[in-house]
Structure 1
Amino acid sequence: MSAAPPLAVLAAAAVGVQVGAAIVASRFVLDQTGPASLALLRYAIGFLCLLPAVAATGVPRIDRRDLLPIAFLGTVQFGVVIALLNVALLTVPSARVALLFATFPLMTMLLAAALGREALSVRRTAGVALTVAGVALAVGEKALAASSDPAEWLGTAAVLAAAFSGALCSVLYRPYLRKYETLPVSAFAMLASVGGLAVLAAGEGFFTTVPRFTGTGWAVVAFIGASSGAGYFLWLWALRHASPTRVTVFLGLSPVTAAALGATLLGEPVTWSLAAAIAVLAAGLWLALRES
């Protein structure tokens, strides 16, 4: 496989940092709203940020037969993945959520290989083994604890389910990104997710009471939404110009970002096991995606 274009690498790296920052920011405001309500605000704002660019380039033309698949992928990528992450953040520290979510590239690699999109070599298999070891380090201390919180284990399962859902979408998006421009696909997929999230947010009472964020909380929500709009565009643009595995590997930057911001802004502890897990996970992803 040829090397990914430099701009695609930079775009993917920027998304890795954005994901980690958004995870920490989401944990900061989740005590002021529900998981689905926050996800709805996140992508409603993200869509509004993309809308002027879409309007400036003209009304996008997407074949009618492709509308439903793209809408479904957008709903899963935004609605399902983000709602699961927000549920996990209620009980799991942001650095651990970001670390577990960084198994996204591992799952992408395995799914792409299973669907015949990419080859899984010996080198990549060794990288997969190291990645699994990193995840084991992340959850190992909880597994050995005398009293484990069932809610935290449920949160861990939610993160892994989010990573799998996102990985599947990353592999399945490629044909549509080759067929259409990135901007209209991004905007339409995000708009479709807003509809699904509105149903979930209604169950949390989002439309019956005015959201009660503090001034800082609104600023954080605005950051999450605007950065998510830009980040998702960069994500799909990178997927259009590079293989799914090579793009998703940069999600390994998210736990480092989340650990640094979580420790600085939220006072979350950075344990030796978590630091070791980040190092092992990064080494596994590097080995799995290293050029021959």
Structure 2
Amino acid sequence: MPSSATAAPPAPPLSLRLSDAALLLVALLWGTSYGVAKGALVYYPVLGFLAVRFGLTFALLLPALLRASAPQRRAALRSGLPLGLLLASIFACETFGLAHTQASNAALLISLCVVFTPPAEWVLLARRPSAAVWACTGVSLLGAALLSGGVPGAWSVGDALILAAAMLRAVQVCCTSRLAQRTPAPALALTAVQAGVIAVAAAALAWALPGTLPPLPGHSAFWWATLYLVLGCTVFAFVVQNWALRHSPPTRVGLLMGSEPAWGAMFAVLWLGESLSVQGWMGAGLIVAAAFWTLRQRPAG
């Protein structure tokens, strides 16, 4: 056998492989979250739902925050307070948007975070994206226009809010990466602070707006949906993302979750009986294709 054969590239480190696998599972869970959350919103308004969801999350994670050392708690507060406010804005846009559009639309439009992350990384972390990434961004925006029925001016309020959430998500990924790599706070403690900030912000806004915080619903469907979102889509997902951003660059984290819209659209069609037009499926295809093409173009970090 000739000895000049090209050597196989070295395998990625175990921490990176574990990070990739965990993030793909998060993508699946987050994909289903749109349909589940839309079902919960039938029983309770947006701000009250967010206060309940993240209040329960904070209660579950409070022991981890209390067990942390004093320096770790201070670090969790320094990073968690600004990140929590950013996440509160993201979830407000996402959830209000979800109340005014299809769950399948929400899952697909939020995936634009994948292509918004490289430009955000350039602005916030001084890492310039390639020309191919800019091209993919244009393709994704075209897909979003097709998915939402045409030109941006014709988009629904819900679609526009989901698009805003996707932009904020890109900023959040970069900010979390920068802060998580500089802070000694454990992932659970950091997630606890973030959840507490979201819960307080949602409850405060709900109390400030009369009629937006009725008595808690007694429907079991609401509580089962909330439990699924708290345990799977919030506690597990936030902890994994905070941990993964210590081992992977922000763009890789964003891109590895590019399967989220496919899971979300599939779940919305099967669970909620939603449907997309031919034009909508074309737009969805462009968004997903651009996400995975961007993954191939970007270095692994």
Partner residue, 2:104: 95
Once residues 22 and 126 of structure 2 are traced to their aligned partners in structure 1, the CA distance between those partners, rounded to angstroms, is 22
Q: So what's the TM-score if we normalise by structure 1?
A: 0.86
How many Å separate the matches in 2 of 1:108 and 1:284? 13
- The 5-angstrom pairing of residues 185-200 of structure 1 reads 185-200=190-205
TM superposition shift of 1:281: 1.5
TM-score, structure 2 normalization: 0.84
RMSD of equivalent CA atoms: 2.6
Does residue 235 (structure 1) correspond to residue 241 (structure 2)? The answer is yes
CA distance in 1 between counterparts of 2:240 and 2:250 reads 13
Inter-partner Cα distance in structure 1 for 2:226 and 2:74: 34
Contact 2:76 2:189 in 1 (8 A): no
Partner in structure 2 of residue 259 of structure 1: 265
- Counterpart of 2:94 in structure 1 is 85
The offset of 1:286, in angstroms, is: 1.8
CA distance in 1, matches of 2:49, 2:159: 19
Secondary structure at the aligned position of 1:242 is classed as coil
Q: Within 1, Cα distance between the matches of 2:165 and 2:266?
A: 22
Contact 1:27 1:90 in 2 (8 A): yes
Q: Which residue is 1:218 aligned to?
A: 223
Q: Which has the larger radius of gyration?
A: 2
Identity over aligned pairs, percent: 21
1:16 has 2:27 as partner: yes
Q: Which of these residues, 24, 41, 44, is aligned with residue 52 of structure 2? A: 41
Instruction: Give me the whole-angstrom Cα distance separating, in 2, the residues matched to 1:63 and 1:269.
Output: 46
List per-residue Cα deviations over 1:1-60 (Å, max 9, x = no partner): x968111111221221122211111111212111111111111222233334445x5346
- Count of aligned positions: 282
Q: Which runs of 5+ in 2 are unaligned?
A: 1-9
Corresponding position of 2:146: 137
Aligned partners of 1:144 and 1:233: how far apart in 2? Answer: 35
RCO higher in 1 or 2 (8 Å CA, sep ≥ 6)? 1
Q: Tell me the alpha carbon deviations over residues 198-236 of structure 1, each in whole angstroms, 9 at most, x when there is no partner.
A: 1123236466x4212411221111111112111111111
Does the Cα contact within 8 Å between 1:47 and 1:187 map onto a contact in 2? Answer: yes
Could you tell me which residue of structure 1 aligns to residue 172 of structure 2?
169
Q: Distance in 1 between matches of 2:39 and 2:73?
A: 40
- Return 5+ residue gaps in structure 1 as ranges: none
Give the letter for the 2:51 counterpart.
Answer: L
Whole-Å Cα distance in 1 between the matches of residues 144 and 115 of structure 2?
Answer: 11
* Shift >4 Å, 4+ stretches: 52-55, 63-66, 142-145, 204-207
Contact persistence 2:262–2:288 (CA under 8 A): no
Q: CA contact under 8 A between 1:88 and 1:159: conserved in structure 2?
A: yes
Q: Determine the structure 2 residue equivalent to 1:184.
A: 189
Residue 105 of structure 1: which of 114, 119, 132 is its match?
114
Q: Tell me which residue corresponds to 1:26.
A: 37
